[in-house]
Amino acid sequence: MKRQFLTVALGMLVSTSAMAGGTVSGTIKYDGQVPPMKTIKMSADAKCEAKHTEPVTAEALVLGEGNTLANIFVRVKSGLPEGKTYETPAEPTVLNQLGCMYVPHVIAVQKDQPVKILNSDGTLHNVHGLPTKNAEFNVAMPAFKKEISKTFDQVEDPFKVKCDVHPWMGGYIAVMDNPFFDVTAQDGKFEIKDLPAGDYEIEFWQEKLGTQVQKVTVADGATQTLDVTMTRPETVGQLNFIVIEN
């Protein structure tokens, strides 16, 4: 009887653990006319040009099948318990310079989490970060310098990273104080797991389309689907991602 009670108790513990958090997931799509994107000319650096067999276009708007959106930074904007702190991951997030592009184009990390910046191109780069809350940095990476590491101690919205050697290179880094965020790949899918039950605002950021906020209620052990459509901003001045090669 004691063994049976112990088995039941353990089963209840596992079940309770499995139900400890909820999930928000969904797919993000683009709605509207797809603008032609500028073709990037890399002839100024033969090593960059040799990395590509097909034309490379600007990454200000990257779409997948069915106009799914890549490079969307998704985060919990409000609803998390106030004052709660979260463990900083020891595992670094990787930002590679590959084909003279930043891969991934957008990354997000927690405060003090290492960002491992790689140079896989065998040519000179310099990584120039332009945060406003964290310290600006500008680090040369000659061909022989394969890796550097950076950390950020302030929460910050996505900030630009560029290469002064190759002016077409640009990416973004966001810094969070919690683990409840994601960045979409070309399939437009995101998933934020282990959220305590409650009401949340989820924010979706894209470098040219701006931000969108959606409200969602999360229950323990349940997955809430939140599909989002983003559109071109109405303000003409924000449409500078529509660049056509002359």
From first to last of its 246 residues, the chain has per-residue pLDDT tens of 545 544 444 444 444 444 579 999 999 999 999 988 899 999 999 999 999 999 999 999 999 999 999 999 999 999 999 999 999 999 999 999 999 999 999 999 999 999 999 999 999 999 999 999 999 999 999 999 999 999 999 999 999 999 999 999 999 999 999 999 999 999 999 999 999 999 999 999 999 999 999 999 999 999 999 999 999 876 544 444 443 332
User: What are the residue ranges spanned by the domains of the chain?
Assistant: 21-80+185-246, 88-177
What does the alpha-carbon distance between residue 178 and residue 155 come to, in Å, rounded to a whole number? Answer: 10
Query: Could you tell me the CA-to-CA distances from 38 to 6, 61, 102, 239 in Å, in that order?
Result: 65, 11, 17, 13
| CATH assignment, 21-80+185-246 | 2.60.40.1120
Backbone φ and ψ of 10, nearest 5°: -65, -40
CATH classification for the domain delimited by 88-177, as one of 3.40.30.10, 3.90.1150.10, 2.60.40.420, 3.40.50.720 = 2.60.40.420
Select from 74, 97, 243, 93 the least CA-distant residue to 161. 97
**Polymer length of the chain:** 246
Sign of CA dihedral 211, 216, 221, 225: negative
pTM listed for this prediction: 0.88
**102 in helix, strand or coil?**
strand
> Do 21-80+185-246 and 88-177 share a fold?
yes
